């Protein structure tokens, strides 16, 4: 219990101070104008979407503008800019995924500004903002992975950040780099431990659109810098990005850019007052490095950056409001009418879930752990640890925790449309799920997984993705839930193995089911099954010994009769090309060899593009050694594992 509390306290500290952040942030402009499908604006926007990513990524400055069409509210103005340390391919993938996100996040909006994981920036609008050098639509973002700085050292930390940003901004604006981009590092040699917290090295980037003159760039960055004391510094955040149309700044306590810092500062112990500035003119070296990196794809880059962990320098004593994540038992009792059976939503691994409403009216789902299941407790702890660190629109949000009177409960946002399996496998409900909704659900799940695998500061494998672990909100947006089995991969791990295979039979990849090996490709496999289930409305009923769904799909795929398999609930009117694309992607995801399965980033790009030609899948093969002992999480409620020795879930070193 003490350990749980300690973990919870630390996690609570993190949670309380971290505002939600997502890998892709789309700002649907408040000018509020929408276009209609088929309008000139829609056609022109389609042209921009098709051309802008290629144009920007193939330009040496990784920047492009577009003006397509003529006439008010028919012309589309757009810009696309990638971070200056990227290579063309990474830039292309980033811009494409940003635009496909924009269509999902701001459907039919005429004016959208998009920031993709601090990696590229886009805006399109019916207004001619391209001619102006105003840094409009500027906003500060705070990622979930920036821990809070202990308040006793925050003043010093912010001062160092300001110094570093200024030097980096000056260098970007100086015109030394064609890309109007600079990277910086503050090497902190001072020991501030007596103040109650250590300050790690700080990293920064500054960038303007390359069409600005050095003076315009300097003025733009100065404007962004001026916002820092108001928008950023009061939050005591160890990182932030300040993004605008024409220029932006970012800092963090881990290196998030490629190559060496162009500007390096040294912070020496205070009193000596010798902050020396060494500007390293390393442009040629960096260009050479970028060239060498040019064959490395987006996922590799993201993985590399995700492996650089933000150092933790939180001072627990320093945080006043850690209680905020705790919700009192009495509150939850009254929220659920004393856990009335009528409020029971169902039972999941290790506990029952109840619907409730907090005093402020917020609807919640309370997962109440069955008493004394050691493994259940482990999973709950795991889930809590994951969920407070992860925030994404396609992951279910945790609201609080209750640990009173021997009760262990997790409180989530309530998802009124229940889990996906209650719809897609129910002929009465599935008729109401048209193709558009299904495609949005597939996209959302893909993005949630992409975030887990590649966009967060850690690599996380969910390990139990299935239709019943995808919940649907009021707008039928999907959110991945149940992180009890999820695992974090550390820096040097690309694969893990476990002696106890826990998961759900129909969704397990062969290498996991047979040998306990798992990588992110385990989730990709489960995702593939899920896609095939969503398209066909059929369950992959491996567990009951019927034909595997993917064998059935494969048979129809090669015979060219796949239409026979699509869910009758879809009716006759659905875009056949998109359905076929999803089946193709589903089949690629369930390839026997994990390396033949695409990464989730690739899946997201494939889903968002109508022009990329997909690889043809090999025949998916699956051999399950039934003599191995499995624990199917769907069975856990009926067979609680109270006596399961803790050692059996210890991870083994990769073989």
DSSP designation for 371: T
DSSP designation for 185: E
Binding-site member from 56, 353, 424, 606 for ligand ACK (CB under 6 A): 353
376 to 415: interface string for ligand ACK, x by CB under 6 A: --------------------x---------------x-xx
Residue positions counted in the chain: 655
Q: What are phi and psi of 250, to 5 degrees?
A: -150, 145
Q: Does 615 bind ligand ACK (CB under 6 A)?
A: no
367 is in an annotated binding site: yes
**DSSP string over 63-130:** EEEEEES-STTT-EEEEEEE-TT--HHHHHHHHHHHHHHHHHHSTTBS-EEEEETTTEEEEEESS--T
Binding-site member from 39, 422, 551, 634 for ligand ACK (CB under 6 A): 422
Q: Does 418 bind ligand ACK (CB under 6 A)?
A: yes
Q: Which residues, 212 to 251, sit near ligand ACK by CB under 6 A? A: none
Q: Please report, for residues 43, 78, 160, 403, the alpha-carbon distance to residue 47 in angstroms, rounded to integers and kept in the order given.
A: 7, 11, 45, 55
Classify 527 as helix, strand or coil. helix
36 to 55: interface string for ligand ACK, x by CB under 6 A: --------------------
- Beta bridge partners of residue 363, listed in sequence order: 357
Show Cβ contacts of residue 543 under 8 Å, excluding neighbours closer than 6 positions: 505, 506, 632
111, 115, 464, 482: the catalytic one is 464
CB 14 within 8 A of CB 315: no
Please state, as a whole number, how many other Cβ atoms lie within 10 Å of the Cβ of residue 273.
7
The window from 288-296, 300-308, 342-350, 438-446 that contacts ligand ACK (CB under 6 A) reads 342-350
Minimum distance, C-beta of residue 370 to ligand ACK, in the bound complex (Å): 13
Cα(333)–Cα(409) distance, integer angstroms: 11
Minimum distance, C-beta of residue 535 to ligand ACK, in the bound complex (Å): 20
What does the radius of gyration of the chain's CA atoms come to, in whole angstroms?
25
Cα(268)–Cα(373) distance, integer angstroms: 52
Asked if 464 is an active-site residue, the reply is: yes
CB 649 within 8 A of CB 641: no
448 to 477: interface string for ligand ACK, x by CB under 6 A: --------------------x--x------
Q: Does 365 bind ligand ACK (CB under 6 A)?
A: yes
**Closer residue to ligand ACK in complex, CB, 249/415:** 415
Minimum distance, C-beta of residue 394 to ligand ACK, in the bound complex (Å): 14
Q: Does 481 bind ligand ACK (CB under 6 A)?
A: yes
Among 395, 390, 383, 392, CA closest to 351: 383
Cα(129)–Cα(77) distance, integer angstroms: 7
Cα–chain center distance at 112: 20
Minimum distance, C-beta of residue 416 to ligand ACK, in the bound complex (Å): 7
Q: Does 345 bind ligand ACK (CB under 6 A)?
A: yes
**Closer residue to ligand ACK in complex, CB, 345/580:** 345
**Closer residue to ligand ACK in complex, CB, 366/587:** 366
**Closer residue to ligand ACK in complex, CB, 410/505:** 410
**Closer residue to ligand ACK in complex, CB, 343/459:** 343
Residues tagged in the binding site annotation for ATP:
367
**Active-site residues: which are they?**
464
**Residues interacting with ligand ACK, by CB under 6 A?**
345-348, 353, 365, 396, 412, 414-415, 418-419, 422, 468, 471, 481
Annotated binding site: 367
């Amino acid at each position: 219990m003490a350990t749980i509390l300690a973990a919870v306290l630390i996690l609570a500290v993190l949670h309380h101070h971290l505002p939600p952040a997502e890998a892709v942030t789309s700002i649907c402009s408040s000018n509020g104008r929408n276009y209609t499908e088929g309008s000139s604006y829609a056609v022109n926007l389609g042209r921009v979407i098709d051309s802008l990513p290629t144009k920007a990524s193939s330009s040496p400055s990784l920047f492009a503008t577009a003006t397509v069409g003529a006439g008010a509210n028919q012309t589309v103005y757009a810009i696309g800019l990638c971070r200056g340390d990227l290579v063309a391919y990474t830039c292309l993938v980033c811009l494409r995924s940003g635009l496909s996100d924009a269509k999902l996040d701001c459907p039919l909006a005429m004016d959208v500004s998009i920031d993709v994981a601090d990696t590229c920036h886009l805006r399109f609008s019916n207004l001619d903002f391209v001619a102006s050098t105003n840094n409009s639509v500027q906003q500060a973002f705070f990622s979930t992975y920036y821990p809070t700085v202990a308040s006793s050292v925050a003043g010093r930390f912010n001062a160092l950040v300001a110094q570093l940003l200024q030097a980096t901004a000056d260098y970007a604006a100086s015109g030394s780099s064609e890309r109007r981009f600079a990277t910086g590092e503050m090497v902190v040699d001072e020991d501030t431990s007596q103040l109650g917290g250590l300050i790690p090295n700080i990293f920064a980037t500054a960038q303007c659109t390359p069409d600005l003159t050095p003076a315009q760039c300097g003025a733009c960055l100065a404007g962004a810098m001026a916002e820092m004391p108001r928008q950023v510094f009061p939050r005591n955040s160890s990182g932030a990005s300040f993004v605008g149309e024409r220029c932006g700044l970012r800092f963090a306590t881990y290196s998030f850019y490629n190559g060496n810092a162009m500007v390096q500062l040294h912070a020496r112990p205070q009193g000596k007052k010798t902050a020396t500035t060494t500007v390293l003119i390393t442009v040629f070296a960096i260009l050479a490095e970028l060239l060498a990196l040019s064959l490395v794809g987006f996922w590799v880059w993201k993985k590399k950056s995700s492996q650089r962990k933000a150092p933790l320098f939180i001072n627990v004593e320093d945080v006043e409001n850690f209680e905020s994540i705790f919700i009192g038992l009495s509150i939850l009792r009254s929220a659920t009418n004393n856990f009335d059976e009528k409020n029971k939503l169902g039972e999941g691994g290790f506990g029952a879930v109840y619907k409730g409403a907090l005093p402020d009216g917020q609807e919640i789902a309370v997962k109440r752990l069955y008493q004394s299941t050691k493994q259940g407790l482990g999973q709950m702890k795991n889930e809590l640890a994951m969920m407070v660190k992860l925030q994404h629109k396609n992951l279910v949000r945790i609201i609080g925790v209750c640990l009173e009177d021997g009760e262990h409960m997790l409180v989530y946002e309530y998802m009124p449309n229940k889990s996906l399996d209650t719809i897609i496998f129910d002929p009465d409900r599935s008729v109401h799920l048209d193709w558009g909704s299904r495609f949005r659900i597939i996209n959302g799940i893909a993005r949630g997984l992409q975030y887990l695998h590649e966009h967060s500061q850690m690599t996380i494998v969910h390990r139990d993705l299935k239709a019943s672990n995808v919940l649907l909100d009021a707008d039928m947006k999907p959110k991945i839930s149940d992180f009890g089995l999820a695992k974090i991969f550390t820096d040097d791990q690309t694969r893990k193995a476990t002696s106890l295979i826990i998961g759900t039979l129909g969704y397990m990849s062969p290498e996991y089911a047979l040998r306990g090996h798992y990588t992110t490709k385990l989730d990709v496999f489960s995702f593939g099954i899920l896609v095939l289930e969503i398209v066909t409305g059929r369950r992959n009923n491996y567990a009951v010994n019927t034909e595997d769904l993917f064998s059935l799909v494969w048979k129809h795929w090669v015979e060219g009769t796949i239409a026979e398999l699509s869910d009758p609930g879809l009716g006759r009117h659905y875009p056949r090309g998109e359905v076929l694309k999803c089946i193709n992607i589903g089949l690629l995801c369930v390839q026997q060899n994990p390396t033949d399965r695409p990464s989730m980033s690739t899946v997201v790009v494939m889903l968002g593009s109508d022009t990329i030609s997909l690889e043809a899948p090999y025949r998916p093969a699956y051999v399950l050694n039934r003599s191995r002992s499995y624990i199917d999480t769907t069975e856990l409620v009926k067979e609680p594992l109270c006596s399961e020795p803790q050692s059996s879930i210890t991870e083994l070193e990769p073989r």
